[in-house]
Amino acid sequence: MSDFLNYTISLGKDINVTIKGVIFIIVFLAAIALVLRAIKKFILRRIDKENKNVFKTAFTFTSWAIYLFFFLIAMSMVGVNITALLASAAVLLVGVGLALQTLFQDFIAGFFVLFDKTVKVGDIIEIDGEFARVEHIDLRTTRAVMLDNKVIVIPNHLYLNKSFKNWTQNGEMIRTFISVRVAHNSDIKLIEKLLYQVASENKKVVKEPAPLVIFESIDESSFEFKLFFSVLDSFNAREPRSELLFRTIELFERNNIKIPYPQRDIHINNRQIL
């Protein structure tokens, strides 16, 4: 048994460790893991829910650093040449670092997202024109549910490389609008009145801040109006927009208000070419 425990394993030039040393390292690191787990549970019981994800991320980084530190101490205690070990590991780490560059970007981005709270669980985000509600954030990815109930997995490095919108950074309520165009001969005061009526009738439109009708522009074939309004459910904001548009068309038809099509006048010269 003694010969087995003292059997030496060569891991490279000047890097040797016995079976007994390997067992010691495993037991030593297992003890460190138990201590860290107890510390994690103790702290998690005493912090609020909002900060738990941030703590878990920080604790994960810290834990790996602690494991590495005590692993090197354990290796040194069993007689391994740490200098030679670090020199051999440095070459390997350079190659691994180049291969896992994107993965490291994900980790770094995830760390900053969690700590500066750019995006939080429950936020409504828009990225590449798609809306989604954030369900989970970890170090590498963000999982979100889209409007059609599909789950989208977003690598965290995209937050660094692409611009995105957080529709709920300032709260669940959002301000949105519908846009309509009417013919030049329309009664603009009646248009304004009908748009305010559309907003007041819809129960999903909040009273404060109040809806606002803006005469946006005049072009060659139409007047453009925008109805700005606020809703509480930012994730389903398309639904009240659709309802407002349906009701707007209904009221316009009832009041004989025409929605124009782009048109051009063409003058034909019939004179003969000599």
- The pLDDT tens digits for 25-60 are 888 888 888 988 888 888 877 776 666 766 776 777
Q: Which CATH class is domain 116-166?
A: mainly beta
Side chain identity at residue 167, one-letter code: W
Does this model's pTM top 0.95?
no
Closest by CA position to 168, among listed 231, 243, 244, 240: 231
User: Comparing C-alpha atoms, which of 251, 195, 253 is closest to residue 224?
Assistant: 195
Say how far apart CA 185 and CA 187 lie, in whole Å: 7
Strand order in the sheet with 212-218: 174-182, 223-231, 212-218
Weakest-pLDDT range from 188-192, 217-221, 241-245: 217-221
Taking the CA atoms of 52, 55, 61 and 65 in sequence, report the sign of the dihedral they define.
negative
For residue 209, cis peptide bond before it (omega within 30 degrees of 0): yes
Looking at residue 209, its pLDDT comes to: 86
Render pLDDT for 85-113 as a digit per residue (tens, 0 to 9): 666 666 666 665 555 666 777 777 777 77
- CATH number assigned to the domain with residue range 174-254, chosen from the 4 options 3.30.2040.10, 3.40.47.10, 3.40.50.150, 3.30.70.100: 3.30.70.100
Q: Where are the domains of the chain?
A: 2-99, 116-166, 174-254
Question: What's the DSSP call for residue 68?
Answer: H
